A = this chain, B = another copy of it.
Amino acid sequence: MKFVVDQQVEDIEMPENLKLNTFLQEFHSDCTHPECGFGFYGFAFGQSPFPVPRLIQEALIKNVNKGEYAAVPGIPELRNAISKYNKHYFGMDVSPDRIYVGPGTKELIFNLLEILHGTVILPTPAWLGYLPQIRFLKKNYHMLPTRANKKIAPNDLRRLALRLQDRQKILILNNPHNPTGLLYNRLELEEIADVCRELNITVISDEIYAQTTYDFSKFVSMGKIYPEGTFVTNGLSKSHAAGGYRLGYVILPQHATDLRTQFKKILATEYTAVSTPIQHAAVPGFEISHEMDEYFEITRNIHKIMGEYTYHRLTSIDGIKATKPEATFYLLADFNAYAPELQKAKIRTSQKLSESLIVHPYHTAIVGGDSLVLERTDFSARIAYVDYDGAAVYQNYQENRPKTHSERTEFVTKNAPKIVSGLDMIEKFFGSLKKDAVDELMLIKNNLKIPN
Contact residues of A between 11 and 65, Cβ < 8 Å to B? 12-15, 18, 47-48, 50-52, 56-58, 60-61, 64-65
Assembly of this chain: how many copies?
Answer: 2
A336 at interface by CB-CB < 8 Å: no
Q: Which residue of B lies closest to A247 (CB)?
A: B275
A388 at interface by CB-CB < 8 Å: no
Q: Which residues of the partner chain B approach A47 to less than 8 Å between Cβ atoms? A: 68-69
In the complex where A3-B116, A12-B265 touch, is A64 in contact with B272 (Cβ < 8 A)? no
Q: Are A228 and B1 in contact (CB under 8 A)?
A: yes
Q: For the complex, would chain A's binding face be called helix, strand, loop or mixed by DSSP majority? A: loop
Q: Which residue of B lies closest to A228 (CB)?
A: B1
Contact residues of A between 252 and 270, Cβ < 8 Å to B? 253, 255-256, 258-259, 262, 264-266, 268-270
A234 at interface by CB-CB < 8 Å: no
In the complex where A1-B200, A60-B60, A269-B12 touch, is A67 in contact with B116 (Cβ < 8 A)? no
Size bracket of the A interface: 35 or more
Bitwise interface map of A from 101 to 112 toward B, beta carbon under 8 Å scored 1, else 0:
001101100100
Q: Which of B58, B245, B262, B265 contacts A277 (CB 8 A)?
A: B245
Q: How far is the CB of A300 from chain B (nearest CB, A)?
A: 17
**Which of A236-244, A314-322, A351-359 binds B?**
A236-244
A7 at interface by CB-CB < 8 Å: yes
Q: Which residues of the partner chain B approach A67 to less than 8 Å between Cβ atoms? A: 48, 50-52, 241-245
A167 at interface by CB-CB < 8 Å: yes
Contact residues of A between 74 and 126, Cβ < 8 Å to B? 103-104, 106-107, 110, 114-118
Q: Considering the complex of A and B, which 8 residue pairs feature the smallest CB-CB distances, nearest first? A: A244-B276, A52-B67, A4-B168, A57-B64, A4-B117, A60-B64, A132-B269, A67-B242
